[in-house]
Structure 1
Amino acid sequence: MFTKMKRLLIGRPLKSNESSGQKLSKFKALAVLSSDALSSVAYGPEQILIVLMAAGSTALWFSLPIGIGVLILLIALVLSYQQIIYAYPQGGGAYMVAKENLGTNFGLTAGGALLVDYILTVAVSVSAGTDAITSAFPALHTHSVTVAVIIVMIITILNLRGLTDSATLLSYPVYFFVLMMLIVIGGGLFALMTGQSAPIHEPAAVGTPVMGIGLFLILRAFSSGCSALTGVEAISNAIPSFKEPAPKNAARTLLMMGGILAVLLLGIVGLAYLYGVHPSGDQTVLSQLASHLFGRNILYYIIQVSTALILILAANTGYSAFPLLAFNLAKDKYMPRPFKVKGDRLGYSNGIITLGALSILLLIIFKGRTESLIPLYAVGVFIPFSLSQTGMIVHWMKRRPSGWIGKLVINLTGALICYMILVIFFLTKFPQIWPVLIFVPIVVFMFHKIHEHYVLVAEQLRVDTRQPVPVIHASDNIIVVPVAGITKVVEQSLTYARSLSDNVIAVFVGDSPEAIQKMDDTWNAWNPGVRLVTIHSPYRSIVNPLDKFISTVKYKAEKRGATVTVVFPQFYTKKWWQSLLHNQSGVLIKASLIRHKDIVIATVPFHFKK
């Protein structure tokens, strides 16, 4: 029943050699990886106006130079991340740049901040989208948390179906939103030029003196407007998801995203100024512009629907980038190994499910009202922004390739602006963002503890292949030993198996011909005196191929009255929580073999001392 439901929801399993079909084209990648950045058009300009309104409506003309300042930072970030894409084509973005150029702790800080930020991206985006839904259907307001949780579950399932399926479905609302914004901007400019529409409020002329406004307020408005830049880094984290040539396609997609975001951002900021839009507590800036230009007709409601959809789908950027960043951290042994495992649909399912579960937890804890998390969400992304810019400065100074001075200037400019924004955030919004000073160090500490555990495990499992495996005479019954590599646990299990019988078979299940060949070569070099049987599993399953092999061995053994014993190498961690950091494939294999009659299952325990 569970298997049928799983197949219905996420589809049939894909073979490993079908991975190329799960790569993203530029068109699909732009929609999937840019939804967070593009959705900020719906609230970024409004955040600028809200801050400026504290000095009166006359101060709203400052939104124009502030918008240009945000555009300059956007250009610096796009050019910088384009360079990061070519310099680090394996993905990882700010984490890889900071780790390689600034040191491990800076890299882990960038990676940890981004992971937290992606969780907040999902929670904040879904919460904002839920608010739009409950505003249209007030009867759902008391069930807003339930609605938000259902939305997260739907997006999680879509992403579990694989990149191609989710991208195909989710790209339409993203491009639909872009089209609606272009209609608003184009329609607004045309109406002004032809005199068909008058401003809502007469805007103050650019340069009009404003009493009570100071540099502090302008900088605060600028930092609020920079919330429109969240999600710019997602493409650099997800380079492996692109079709080949991946770096080139990723770089072009980043340029397209930057261009679209620049046009929409400046268009909405400019239109809000020209029409004299004042921020309102009961109507967004976009809603005011649309209703003034088109009236409360069908087009207005279509624009509102497109805005609600893009706010919800902004969460998908987190689903695209979080699993790949978690994979890179797991590959470096700073996150649990299960994050390296691909699921049935060739996506990193454990990362997708973890992101969905943590986002749901956050929504439940904050009861679907995540407004207080938005400043934390913004500052969380500017930490990796700043570290990646600094890392690229070091990168250019070390390598000094042709034209490096111009690239250095771009990164230096971006770094200075990012650090300035961080300072402004901490000066103006410290009561809301102080948790980042606790969360990020805790996450980095967890990374180090996980890495320390894996280092100790490797130290205790390492085998000296130059030493022969002890040979003990035994009976002739068949002993099958599943192995995943050459470790102390395997060596101990083979020694035990050979004490039971002279007929010992080691079995290795590999998900690719390369993995099998590597195991064959390593095994032959070690030469433990035990025959190795390798099985290719195109669907990456270990349980089913091993179960079939053991069933075949059992059938042959029964013909000559022999018994089959399966000896499982099993290590036990010193602390209970450390076991969560390892795959539990042995448990699944045992559960599968229990239904077989006349198969002896033995476990050879190996206890870690550290």
Structure 2
Amino acid sequence: AVPNFKEPKSKNASMTLVIMALILAFFLTGITFLSFSYGITPDTHVTVLAQIGQQVFGHGVFFYILQIATALILAVAANTGFSAFPQLAYNLARDKFMPHSYMDKGDRLGYSNGIMSLALGAIVLLVIFKGSTGSLIPLYAVGVFVPFTLSQSGMIIHWWRERDGHWLVKSLINFVGAFISGVLVVTLFVLHFSSVWPYLIIMPMLLRVFWVINRHYKLVAKQLRVLSEEPIKRHRYDGATVIVLVSNLTRATAEAVDYAKSIGNTVLAMHVSFDSNPQKEHRLGTEFKREFPEVRYVDIHSSYRSITKPAMRFVDEIAKGTKERNYSLTILIPQFVPRHGWQNALHNQNSLKLRTALASRDITVSTYYFHLKE
């Protein structure tokens, strides 16, 4: 949260950390003293704070104020993750180690994708550990002290590189912090391995995912980058070929063909037919040729009711011809859009399958949308 402070940020953040540390030390010392004085021991049914409250206040109003205050502090602590993780995810996404969608803000000006991801991860952990805090706390502690160890070790390297001011003293302080944190991590793995073992699986997987994402973004940037000292190689086409995918002769199909004729020198209509109803397929071809006599109609037969494979084979053949003629190739898919979003579930999604398959080819895939009014 250092970037959220006013200038001088480092000084203000340091003072805040000192104040927080003093408050924590004060409460920890008080709880330890009262626990020792009243002879309180851990109980699976009653927390240490509740036992102290019973001893000091009995079961009066102040006891319940103490319990409510404790619950509110825990709620704030739980919320800290939901305010900090989205910012962390944003920083990782900015550095190209997480998807760029984590940089997007939602309607409430929060990083919604980070919040939802954290909530999903928390739910998964609660299910795995059946909501047992006794099992989750060691895992949480490992998640806390491993970063502490890494950050303190990183500061040691920083001071040895900079060698500014009292760098030896600062390095010694950070070494003590790294050593204590490291010992705690080892201790947790030795004493609570049954609770912390998921860390050994999750973290290597996350690191691998981060590396793959970063590598992908670097490769994309390398391929898309336009260098000023290198001229852009532009391809000049002599014409355009447009293939319109036809399932039925509808208004959507007719308008798509008219649009294809306006942008293409050559227009082809492709239809995939099946054995189930040959008369219907023949009638469709006759009606299409009567409606669009200048457009070449191609009927591709499929014996296995597969649309994607025959369509892809035809497109590949046409692509070879257009390349020889130095023509661009566009696949135009007519699709009607229902008035209400839920109505999409009532219709087949063949166009989506075809778009997904055609995305693997070096061609242009376009959709002609026909909006239904009722």
Number of aligned residue pairs: 251
Q: Could you say which residue in structure 1 is the equivalent of 2:138?
A: 375
Deviations 1:272-324 (A, max 9, x none): 11222122232221111111111101111111111122223211111122112
From 300, 325, 330, give the equivalent of 2:88. Answer: 325
Q: Could you say which residue in structure 2 is the equivalent of 1:292?
A: 55
Q: Could you say which residue in structure 2 is the equivalent of 1:467?
A: 231
Offset, 1:338: 1.0
Q: Could you say which residue in structure 2 is the equivalent of 1:600?
A: none
Give the conservation status (yes or no) of the 8 Å contact 1:335–1:447: yes
The correspondence of residues 581-600 of structure 1 with structure 2, limited to 5 A, is none
Structure whose CA Rg is larger: 2
Counterpart secondary structure, 2:3: helix
> Structure 1 366/416 Cα, relative in aligned 2: closer, same or farther at 3 Å?
closer
Return 5+ residue gaps in structure 2 as ranges: 240-262, 265-355, 361-366
Amino acid of the structure 1 residue aligned with 2:231: Q
Q: Could you say which residue in structure 2 is the equivalent of 1:303?
A: 66
Offset, 1:247: 2.9
Counterpart secondary structure, 1:434: helix
TM-score under structure 1 normalisation? 0.38
Q: Quick check: which one's helix share is greater?
A: 1
TM-score under structure 2 normalisation? 0.60
Offset, 1:398: 1.0
Offset, 1:337: 0.8
Q: Could you say which residue in structure 2 is the equivalent of 1:267?
A: 30
Give the conservation status (yes or no) of the 8 Å contact 1:363–1:370: no
Structure with the larger RCO, 1 or 2 (CA within 8 Å, 6+ apart): 1
| Structure 2 residue 157 is the aligned partner of structure 1 residue 398 | no
Give the conservation status (yes or no) of the 8 Å contact 1:342–1:349: yes
Deviations 1:519-546 (A, max 9, x none): xxxxxxxxxxxxxxxxxxxxxxxxxxxx
The correspondence of residues 428-467 of structure 1 with structure 2, limited to 5 A, is 428-465=191-228, 466-467=230-231
The correspondence of residues 160-171 of structure 1 with structure 2, limited to 5 A, is none
Q: Could you say which residue in structure 1 is the equivalent of 2:103?
A: 340
| Structure 2 residue 115 is the aligned partner of structure 1 residue 352 | yes
From 421, 429, 433, give the equivalent of 2:184. Answer: 421
| Structure 2 residue 155 is the aligned partner of structure 1 residue 410 | no
Amino acid of the structure 1 residue aligned with 2:143: G
> Structure 1 282/453 Cα, relative in aligned 2: closer, same or farther at 3 Å?
same
The correspondence of residues 34-73 of structure 1 with structure 2, limited to 5 A, is none
Task: Report the Cα distance in structure 2 between the residues aligned to 1:394 and 1:240, rounded to whole angstroms.
Answer: 23
From 301, 308, 315, give the equivalent of 2:78. Answer: 315
Identity over aligned pairs, percent: 49
Task: Report the Cα distance in structure 1 between the residues aligned to 2:60 and 2:72, rounded to whole angstroms.
Answer: 19
Deviations 1:487-524 (A, max 9, x none): xxxxxxxxxxxx99xxxxxxxxxxxxxxxxxxxxxxxx
The correspondence of residues 461-540 of structure 1 with structure 2, limited to 5 A, is 461-465=224-228, 466-468=230-232, 470=234
From 20, 45, 49, give the equivalent of 1:257. Answer: 20
Counterpart secondary structure, 1:260: helix
Offset, 1:365: 4.4
Amino acid of the structure 1 residue aligned with 2:12: N
Amino acid of the structure 2 residue aligned with 1:337: H
RMSD (Å), alpha carbons: 3.0
Task: Report the Cα distance in structure 1 between the residues aligned to 2:21 and 2:164, rounded to whole angstroms.
Answer: 25
The correspondence of residues 187-198 of structure 1 with structure 2, limited to 5 A, is none
From 246, 251, 262, give the equivalent of 2:9. Answer: 246
| Structure 2 residue 43 is the aligned partner of structure 1 residue 280 | yes
Task: Report the Cα distance in structure 1 between the residues aligned to 2:100 and 2:153, rounded to whole angstroms.
Answer: 29
Task: Report the Cα distance in structure 1 between the residues aligned to 2:237 and 2:197, rounded to whole angstroms.
Answer: 66
> Structure 1 462/430 Cα, relative in aligned 2: closer, same or farther at 3 Å?
same
Task: Report the Cα distance in structure 2 between the residues aligned to 1:257 and 1:405, rounded to whole angstroms.
Answer: 26
Return 5+ residue gaps in structure 1 as ranges: 1-237, 476-498, 501-569, 575-589, 598-610
Task: Report the Cα distance in structure 2 between the residues aligned to 1:468 and 1:303, rounded to whole angstroms.
Answer: 70
